Amino acid sequence: MSCYFRQNSDTDIAIPKYVESSGVTYYTIKVRVAQVEWLVERRYKDFDELNEKLVEEIAISKKLLPPKKIVGNKNPTFLEERRQKLEKYLRELMVFFRIQLPRVLAEFLEFNKYDIIYLLQDLAKLFIESGEALLSNRKQFHFSALQVYAISERLNLPCPPENIEHRGRFDFSHVLDFCTQLEILKVTPVKDNDSFASDYNAVDVPIGSSNIIPKKLKFNLNAFRNIHTLKFYALPPENILDIGLLKPSLQKICVHNTITTSINQVLLCDNVHKENVTVNSPTKADIALQGPITSSSGSCTNWPKINELNFSGNLLTQIDESVRLVPQLRNLVLEQNRLKTIRNLAELPHLQTLTLSVNLISDCINWHLELGNLITLNLAQNKLKSVKGLRKLLSLVNLDLSCNLIEDVEEVDNIACLPLLETLRLTGNPLASIVDYRSRVLARFHDRASEIVLDSEKGTHKELDTALVLSALHVSFLRKKSQQ
């Protein structure tokens, strides 16, 4: 991202070409500030309006701009000559304003889209004029990666002179004040394009007409120290260089549509040695007091208030030991990843809800050893044929097994024995296509059949009557079998 305030000596501007569209001539302006480049298309009419404003506000010479021409203004020779003169005009302006760009010129050249100072001036103006209305809705705001990067970088800059930062409605303090009042922060590669938030390839797409790549923007979140919810879409968590100030207050983290393969990429996002970190198990005192947990290197602390993690839509292949850093976790959403099994959840004693739908799980052997106090478990759209490993999840109340590969009604016996189970989803399994499917499943719950909500509906009187008969026959069959 550019910073004209510090890089004005390494700035260049050119008009390499002009293009015609629907009978209108546009001049392509190429702006370069250090390594950052972007393109802007303007008509001669735009140049004329710019010049009039500069003459009025700054009192520059009106003769700097090449004059209008009514006849022959579509002639290629004339257009080429005008292109050269317009380029000279802009370069003279940049020399004249080499320390500070007037707002009208900054907006004309779109510095307010790609330059730290001028982009933040736009944000400051927005927040001073509409901040109260924006904060009235849950104190939530959606920033682009470029905006968050600009805020982070501005905190590291020396304070620009007042005539550059425009005290008043463009003051950076308005941005900081707004950020400190936020409770929910959402960050995506760009704004005004929802498809970018759902596509992890968006981080490799240049922003606008510039050469700025979202994936390369590294920033800290120190300006947002009071948020309790962080939502990250399509951006690598490693883009966060420092998240330490958020750890005492953050309660929920959402990371969606990224190429993240391991949870430590999120929970240890600002630790450059995360792959070599061994996280110590929390003691009962740590959990009870919500105290810090240190890594083997002594530099890693836990997240004492995190109660929900939502990592749906990523490329997770494992649940690594970094989950120990969230000992107060109650809700874990790992939907639509590439998980084949679960690990390291036994040390999350407060975990109540686990969502593992749309993964690659084909067995669930001895899951009670990992999920002792679980209330809700979602395993929809996996590859399960047997659910024997769930038979000891005695605290389970809600279970979703829809769209798996369960064929045999006898598999239901493994979950019918769960004393607190109330809701069960089996739709989408081969089992659901058999005759009297609902009655056959409900029959396995025997006296509790009327209490079970199967596939979002309780049994009808007819289904329950049939289930009662089937239950009696099944009990009789088991009794005879045991006598043999």
The residue from 46, 74, 109 where one domain ends is: 109
pLDDT tens digits, one per residue of 159-217? 765 555 456 788 899 999 999 999 999 999 988 766 655 666 667 889 999 999 988 99
Task: Flag whether pLDDT at 295 surpasses 50.
Answer: no
pLDDT tens digits, one per residue of 363-401? 999 998 888 889 999 999 999 999 999 999 999 999 999
Q: How confident is the model at residue 296 (pLDDT cuts 50, 70, 90)?
A: very low
Same structural domain, 97 and 51: yes
Largest CA distance in the chain: 110
The residue from 218, 233, 250 where one domain ends is: 250
Same structural domain, 477 and 368: yes
Whether residue 387 is contained in a domain is answered as: yes
Helical (H) or strand (E) element with 52: helix 44-57
Identify the domain containing residue 47 by its residue range. Answer: 4-109
Top-confidence residue, 14 or 160: 14
Task: Flag whether pLDDT at 290 surpasses 70.
Answer: no
pLDDT tens digits, one per residue of 60-115? 788 888 888 766 677 888 889 999 999 999 999 999 888 888 999 999 999 999 99
Same structural domain, 20 and 85: yes
The residue from 109, 144, 163 where one domain ends is: 109
Same structural domain, 403 and 378: yes
Evaluate whether 379 touches 355 at the Cβ level (below 8 Å). no
Name the domain count of the chain: 3
Report for 275-279, 291-295, 463-467: range of highest mean pLDDT:
463-467
Task: Flag whether pLDDT at 277 surpasses 70.
Answer: no
Same structural domain, 104 and 190: no
We report the CATH number of the domain holding residue 434 as 3.80.10.10
pLDDT given for residue 289 in this prediction = 44
Top-confidence residue, 438 or 193: 438
Same structural domain, 146 and 91: no
Same structural domain, 102 and 128: no
CA dist 231 and 198 (Å) reads: 13
Alpha helices in 306-420 (DSSP H): 413-416
Whether residue 293 is contained in a domain is answered as: no
pLDDT tens digits, one per residue of 307-366? 999 999 999 999 999 999 999 999 999 999 999 999 999 989 999 999 999 999 999 999
pLDDT given for residue 481 in this prediction = 72
The residue behind tokens 């490799």 is 204
Whether residue 72 is contained in a domain is answered as: yes
Strand order in the sheet with 24-33: 11-21, 24-33, 36-42
